[in-house]
Structure 1
Amino acid sequence: MRVWALPLALIALAACVTYSVAQRRSAEPPEIVPMRPVSVDPVVLAKRLVSMQAGWPRSRKFDCARIKCVALTFDDGPGEHTGRLLDLLRARDVRATFFVIGQMVAADKGGLITRRIVEDGHEIGNHSWSHPPLAALSHEAVRRELKHTEDIVEQVTGVRMRVMRPPYGSTDDDVAAETRREGLAQILWNVDTFDWRDRVAAKVAKRAGEAKPGSIVLLHDIHRSTVDAVPAMLDTLTKKGYTFVTVSELYGKTPLPGRTYISR
């Protein structure tokens, strides 16, 4: 039986469709561009590996059962606007979770932005290599999409990711099984800002500002308008008494591999 992001499908996944077993088996796997080595400063990587051994991401303790927490998540990068977003978050001492696409990491010259995501204390997650609907693919194609991205992120940052987000929220029992094998929890969302559709900063900020305690907010750092919305978004949620946390901090521990999370 195919599972489409539980009740979330009714409100946020209108573009997704359910695929039959026959379609899954006959689906052509996406073409994956061979991964080329990324030039990484060995000194920087050595420091990251030492930090990783001490525990990553850097743990901050929040009891989100008692305080108002919200997890901001950014998909599809790193892109041309991600650096500015990181500047805005750093200025406010805000941590978020970034679900990166492998091809975008490969295009990140020297891996500078990808490494900065980790070094600034944000959580980094797997958003596949080429952004296909995973439930449409064969088991092997799903594995390749996840593994290629895991490998390049670890090569660039020294970090092995523990969370993933299926593109379009496209998941089912078979995708869950593959994520379990790869040690990845599936992170969906319960607040969709529709920033991919409505490229208006004020609209995006308003929708994000309607988050409830324990919400996971879906955003995309590849859009200028989304980054433009961040200051107002942070102001609104801060005035409402929210603490900004990563997905793992929202749950107080690393989410369980293969399990699907929508909100706290």
Structure 2
Amino acid sequence: MKSFIPILFAAIMLAACGGAKQSNESQDTEPIPSEETTETENVEKPQEIEEAAKENTEEAVEETQPVYKLNEANWVIERLDGSKEKNVLITIDDAPDKHSLEMAEILNRLGVKAIFFVNGHFLDTPEEEERLKKIHDMGFAIGNHTYSHPNLTQISEEEQKQEIVSLNKRVKEITGVSPAFFRAPFGMNTDYSKEIAAQEGMMLMNWTYGYDWEKKYQNPDSLSEIMVGSPYLTNGANLLMHDREWTKDALEDIVKGLQSKGYSIADPDLIEAPKRAN
């Protein structure tokens, strides 16, 4: 009996060890995903990448398709799809003087776009440069309004070129992008200024109406009333405003007043570039 007990104990121990080994082997054979395996599973196939890139490209093209064209006979914008949806274009001259940045912030808060036409003599200081950069970074279109705001019909062709081209270079230095639009001071173009604007890839632009330089409209209430109630307010109207304190103070009422009349504010980036002869 005494010799049987050690034998029984040895048998039990051997059985236990064998079970433990079998259990460990079972655990060891269970697959553990490595980083390499995980990465391989998550890598997109070339075809999937190509299809995704194609979809993204198509979406980007869709987003940048022009919606409007500019009628150079009367400077209104017209919808390319021929629909009767009412739109107006907001433009602001003499930027970035004292009030342009705040005007851009107001428009941005209201969710509407505009063109800010820039003069070079408002880009003389780092503070003025920063204003322009902020306006551009908010997504507003930048236009060329000449370097020093001369009457182009009264200066030489060489001076006209300098006024236009030097400002384009200055704007590009600050924003990284050249202006897409050109508006001559006082709306007075010459054949040569039109030629230079075309060479620089800019769209010519004048306006339908504006009032903020007239003394009787140099207060927010009168200005907002006439801008919304003007007899010249029609579908596609091209509205001219300036960097002025009273215009800044009237701006929100002008936008909301136009919208209450059923007008949408057009995005200038969606205006079709004109086809120019080579």
1:126 aligns with one of 139, 144, 150: 144
For 1:156, the aligned partner's letter is I
Taking the aligned partners of 2:65 and 2:260, their CA distance within structure 1 comes to: 21
Q: Deviations over 1:211-238 (max 9, x none)?
A: 21101001002x1000011111011101
1:192/1:218 contact within 8 Å kept: yes
Deviation at 1:90, TM superposition (A): 1.2
- Structure 2 matches for 1:91-102, cutoff 5 A? 91-102=109-120
Structure 1: stretches of 5+ with no match in the other structure: 1-54, 259-264
1:98/1:124 contact within 8 Å kept: yes
CA 1:243–1:60 in 2, change beyond 3 Å: closer, same or farther?
farther
For 1:160, the aligned partner's letter is S
1:239 aligns with one of 243, 246, 260: 260
1:195/1:226 contact within 8 Å kept: no
Secondary structure of the 1:191 match is: coil
- Structure 2 matches for 1:1-264, cutoff 5 A? 59=64, 62=67, 64=79, 65-66=82-83, 67-107=85-125, 109=127, 111-195=129-213, 197=215, 198-209=217-228, 210=230, 211-221=233-243, 223-249=244-270, 252-256=271-275
Deviation at 1:122, TM superposition (A): 1.1
**Structure number with larger C-alpha Rg:** 2
Deviation at 1:205, TM superposition (A): 1.2
Taking the aligned partners of 1:110 and 1:81, their CA distance within structure 2 comes to: 11
Q: Deviations over 1:32-58 (max 9, x none)?
A: xxxxxxxxxxxxxxxxxxxxxxx9xx8
2:66/2:272 contact within 8 Å kept: no
Secondary structure of the 2:112 match is: coil
For 2:202, the aligned partner's letter is L
CA 1:110–1:240 in 2, change beyond 3 Å: closer, same or farther?
closer
Relative to its length, the structure with more helix (as a share) is: 2
Deviation at 1:162, TM superposition (A): 1.9
Deviation at 1:59, TM superposition (A): 4.1
Taking the aligned partners of 1:103 and 1:257, their CA distance within structure 2 comes to: 30
Q: State TM-score, norm by structure 2.
A: 0.66
CA 1:255–1:124 in 2, change beyond 3 Å: closer, same or farther?
farther
For 2:171, the aligned partner's letter is V
CA 1:205–1:157 in 2, change beyond 3 Å: closer, same or farther?
same
1:71/1:216 contact within 8 Å kept: yes
Deviation at 1:60, TM superposition (A): 7.7
1:139/1:178 contact within 8 Å kept: no
Q: State TM-score, norm by structure 1.
A: 0.69
1:183/1:257 contact within 8 Å kept: no
1:186/1:257 contact within 8 Å kept: no
Taking the aligned partners of 2:177 and 2:107, their CA distance within structure 1 comes to: 21
1:195/1:204 contact within 8 Å kept: no
Secondary structure of the 2:258 match is: helix
CA 1:212–1:203 in 2, change beyond 3 Å: closer, same or farther?
same
CA 1:196–1:142 in 2, change beyond 3 Å: closer, same or farther?
farther
Taking the aligned partners of 2:219 and 2:64, their CA distance within structure 1 comes to: 34
Larger RCO, structure (CA 8 Å, separation 6 or more): 1
Deviation at 1:83, TM superposition (A): 2.0
Secondary structure of the 1:79 match is: coil
Taking the aligned partners of 2:186 and 2:246, their CA distance within structure 1 comes to: 20
Percent identity of equivalent pairs:
25
Deviation at 1:94, TM superposition (A): 0.8
2:147/2:164 contact within 8 Å kept: yes
Instruction: Count matched residues.
Output: 199
Secondary structure of the 1:155 match is: helix
